[in-house]
Amino acid sequence: MTDHVILGQPATDPAGAACRGCHGLDRREFLERTLLAAAAGFLAGCATAGPTVASLTPVTLHLANYPALANVGGIAVIDNGNSSGVPWAVARTGAATFVALSLVCPHRGGTVQSLGTSFMCPVHGALFSSNGTWTGGQPTSSLGRYTVQYDAVAGTLAVS
């Protein structure tokens, strides 16, 4: 059995009699509930659930092809999104450590740009360190990461 409520009128049962304890939904209550639901939906859309990292086809990079990665702190944008559809970069964080980062801003999905030793989202100004950690600007989470395996003997970096 489904009750139907008409604005400004008392609720009735199928026989047309007024329901005990039921009251009609007046215009003011309807507007309040509608505005609260809309506000909740808007706020839920602004929430960040953390970085979402797009799937990346596994790739092996020869470090000799990326001179910026020869020194600690160096950053190389491997793909700006034009080749694979996934913008990503690699940063050298130590003598034998690297991090591969998604260049999709976790705030609103803009493509993050390299500033040489850090990253910035041009959409809302979020700033990230060379290892992808959020450091300032628009509050958001850190950049998403890919798995990296460094082979010092071969001079390669496997990213997936």
The pLDDT tens digits along the chain (160 residues) read 445 555 555 555 556 555 555 556 677 776 676 666 665 554 444 444 444 577 788 999 999 999 999 999 999 999 876 667 789 999 999 999 999 999 999 988 899 999 999 999 999 999 999 999 999 999 999 999 999 999 999 999 999 9
CATH number of 59-159: 2.102.10.10
| pLDDT of res. 108 | 87
| pLDDT of res. 19 | 55
Q: Where are the domains of the chain?
A: 1-47, 59-159
| pLDDT of res. 42 | 45
b vs e for 24-40, b when ≥16 Cβ sit within 10 Å of the residue's Cβ?
eeeeeeeeeeeeeeeee
Q: Give the predicted TM-score (pTM) of the model.
A: 0.66
| pLDDT of res. 20 | 58
